[in-house]
Amino acid sequence: MKDIIESRYNIKINAIIKITNKSYKLMCEEGNFVLKYHNDQTLETIFSRLSMINNDVFLLPIKSYNGNYIETFQNLYFAIYPFINDEVLLNKDIRLHFYVKALAYLHHSSSYKAIANLHLWSHYSIKVSDGFFNESLDYLENQCDKVDATITSRIERIEREEYHSPSDWYFLMNYDHIKKALDEARRRIDNLEDAWKEEKNLNLSLTYQNFDYSHILVKQNKIISLDKMALAPSIYDLRQLFNEAYISKIDIASLIKEYMDINPLQKYEKEWLLAFLFIPSITHVNDEIKDINLLFKCLNRLTSVESFANLLTEEETSEESN
């Protein structure tokens, strides 16, 4: 394998150090690199698209002498990346603000509507079938049905039992809040279907979908580990962004403003994102303390989603007034 890499990348490897099962540090006379194994060649097209929009924040592999980002050898798929020293972890807030701007530029510059205007990309025109959207609707509706079944099952059990545990009482006290969120998710799904019919075009872009603070190298102005990058709806990244901001207790309002200043969301995208977020993450465990803690986290998250929904509504009202 060493000889294959050296011949295809014209480098001289002095040492190979294992990082993970799928990645190795290559210490070469020309400098240090990272060898990473991939599952297939799917990313070749994605990386080609990324290179066309001249976005150098997301770290691409080095092209081989064959002109490929992903090389193959004996059923193995691999790529060679520049090696970047990990930096001392900066404040999560700083990293997240850097990340959200990078996402916005990525989504905006690689969107189907944006690339349709580039002659170079004309042969990459994409038509999204109704089947794709219908599958997404079905997924959301199925998730709502599962949550509804979980809630109903717990209510029925509580009604049968004479003694109610503290977690059951806590659930009953907050049942209306949980049910209201579920109803709101279903309403957003209906709105999404109507908005989709009006829009008639699904906006796809390059999406990162691999958030981790260790992947965000602010000082080097880079985001690494593009393993899950795909052509998909931008809300897939935004849903993950909301969850990370909530977990890290970072103000989502400032983040979404930064994002929408660069890449405003269309009406159906807002409904789609909120449909995802309003579905309660409700589970039941036999441990009382853990069960109450899970319910508490679920309710807190729903409160954050409600505030986020109000923010998007205010943004939409402001846009209409202008």
Q: Of 35, 60, 82, which closes a domain?
A: 82
| Domain match, 142 and 9 both | no
74 within a domain of the structure (yes/no): yes
Close Cβ partners of 176 (under 8 Å, ≥ 6 residues apart): none
- Percent of the residues in the chain that have a pLDDT greater than 70, as a whole number: 90
| Domain match, 176 and 305 both | yes
- Percent of the residues in the chain that have a pLDDT greater than 90, as a whole number: 69
Six-digit token pair at 31? 């400098």
Q: Is 286 exposed, middle or buried (0-12, 13-18, 19+ CB in 10 A)?
A: exposed
31 near 83, Cβ under 8 Å? Answer: yes
Q: Which whole-number Å values give the CA distances from 177 to 181, 284, 293, in the listed order?
A: 6, 17, 16
105 within a domain of the structure (yes/no): no
| Domain match, 143 and 181 both | yes
**Which structural domain, as residue segments, surrounds residue 149?**
112-321
Q: What is the pLDDT of residues 106-149, one digit of tens each?
A: 999 998 754 545 444 444 444 555 677 788 899 999 999 999 99
pLDDT higher than 70, residue 66:
yes
CA atoms within 13 A on the CB side of 221: 3
Six-digit token pair at 113? 């509507």
| Domain match, 209 and 299 both | yes
The pLDDT assigned to 85 comes to 80
| Domain match, 282 and 155 both | yes
202 within a domain of the structure (yes/no): yes
Q: What is the pLDDT of residues 142-193, one digit of tens each?
A: 999 999 999 999 999 999 999 999 999 999 999 999 999 999 999 999 999 8
Number of domains in the chain: 2
| Domain match, 74 and 167 both | no
The pLDDT assigned to 319 comes to 61
188 within a domain of the structure (yes/no): yes
More confident residue, 201 or 83: 83
The pLDDT assigned to 209 comes to 96
Q: What is the pLDDT of residues 254-301, one digit of tens each?
A: 899 999 999 999 889 999 999 999 999 998 888 999 999 999 999 999
The pLDDT assigned to 312 comes to 87
Q: Of 63, 82, 101, which closes a domain?
A: 82
99 within a domain of the structure (yes/no): no
Close Cβ partners of 211 (under 8 Å, ≥ 6 residues apart): 99, 237, 240, 241, 244
57 within a domain of the structure (yes/no): yes
pLDDT higher than 80, residue 322:
no
User: If you average pLDDT over residues 67-80, what whole number do you get?
Assistant: 94
Averaged pLDDT score across all residues of the chain? 89
78 within a domain of the structure (yes/no): yes
CATH (domain of 311)? 3.90.1200.10
The pLDDT assigned to 89 comes to 66
- Range from 141-150, 201-210, 211-220 that averages highest in pLDDT: 141-150
pLDDT higher than 90, residue 198:
no
User: If you average pLDDT over residues 42-69, what whole number do you get?
Assistant: 93
Neighbours of 71 (CB within 10 A): 22
279 within a domain of the structure (yes/no): yes
| Domain match, 297 and 152 both | yes
| Domain match, 138 and 203 both | yes
| Domain match, 158 and 65 both | no
| Domain match, 32 and 124 both | no
The pLDDT assigned to 91 comes to 85
CATH (domain of 10)? 3.30.200.20
| Domain match, 208 and 313 both | yes
**Opening angle at CA 239, ends 220 and 110, nearest 5:** 60
User: If you average pLDDT over residues 240-250, what whole number do you get?
Assistant: 90
**Opening angle at CA 302, ends 300 and 306, nearest 5:** 120
pLDDT higher than 90, residue 197:
no
pLDDT higher than 90, residue 36:
yes
| Domain match, 60 and 201 both | no
